[in-house]
A = this chain, B = another copy of it.
Amino acid sequence: MKACIAYAPGTVANLVCGFDILGLCLDSPADKMEVRLLDTAEIIIKSADGYPLPEDPALNTAGAPLLEMLQDLDQKVGFEIIIHKRIKPGSGIGSSAASAAGAVAAANYLLGSPFDKVQQIQYAMAGEKVASGVKHADNVAPCIYGGITLIRSIAPLDVIPLAAPDLYVSVVHPQIEVRTADARAILRQQVPLKNAIKQWGNIAGLVTGILKNDLPLIGRSLEDHIIEPVRSTLIPGFQELKKSCKEAGALGGGISGSGPSIFMLSSSRQTAQAIEGIMQETYKNLGIDYHSYVSMINKEGVRIEPLNNSSR
């Protein structure tokens, strides 16, 4: 049967002041998924690396979107998905979104591309619902489109791909658990109007900086007066690390998704690597295990490679 490999990259959602509306796509890490078209109406999920992923498709972030897709198809088809999980679940860099977006993009490819990117995002959001209980798009949208995407509205879904500036992203994932539900529960449900105004000034500045490739403006706009002051309390070392990274030349950054990963943007690979060094040093000193990455902003999103007629 027809088959392909999908490379589904990590993503950074909640881009500082752009809580719930802005996300960017990383080059690495990326999940690798082997996807085969079946002539039976079923979804088969396998974990290649012994990661304890749910194999019931309705409970799996890659499976749930495809179950929705199958309902919309006239053909009797199904998919087998073997997931090489490279983005650690719970890291805050879009692990569930990568599985969902990778599965949807691969299925779309194997079916002859009947779905546009917005429809693919809508299916992939079903995977986010399985993972966190909320159908959000700020990871799956940049994973499908690449670059930096704006989710102006969820209902109706209005996604606008902005641009993919030549920026480098340093990410550190301290090995602590921050549950998405806790990170949501800690937020205040009312925010002071004066802080909301500062926030929307910064969002407008950040979007302008991204579209005009104005790096100093991006840097000045990477301020979050609402979410970060609350959520950063869940991440040891956050404030000091952020200060050190900016002193070392990072444009700015913050909490990736709902954490615990932290990301910083830089205009050169050299700076981004120095920032990664500071991140490693910080968590070494705190005695907390970590993973760290340096990546460009990914311009294409999920990448599909055809697999030759595979008998396996």
- Chain A residues within 8 Å of B, Cβ to Cβ: 17-22, 150-153, 158, 160, 162, 187-194, 196-205, 207-208, 211-212, 217, 220-221, 226
Contact = CB atoms under 8 A, between A and B. Distances in A.
Which of A190, A199, A200 counts the most chain B CB atoms within 10 A? A200
Given A189-B193, A190-B192, A196-B196, A160 B203 contact: no
A201 B162 contact: no
Nearest to A20: B197
18 contacts: A19-B197, A20-B201, A21-B197, A150-B201, A152-B202, A153-B198, A153-B205, A153-B220, A188-B193, A189-B192, A190-B192, A191-B192, A191-B193, A191-B196, A204-B204, A208-B211, A211-B211, A211-B212
A21 B208 CA distance: 13
Contacts of A20: 197, 201
A200 to B, nearest CB: 5
B204 A203 contact: yes
Give the oligomeric copy count: 2
Nearest to A210: B208
A205 B22 contact: no
Contacts of A19: 197, 200
Contacts of A18: 200, 204
A214 to B, nearest CB: 8
Contacts of A189: 192-194
A200 B198 contact: no
Contacts of A192: 189-191
A286 B202 CA distance: 40
Contacts of A151: 201
A18 B162 CA distance: 19
A165 to B, nearest CB: 14
A105 to B, nearest CB: 24
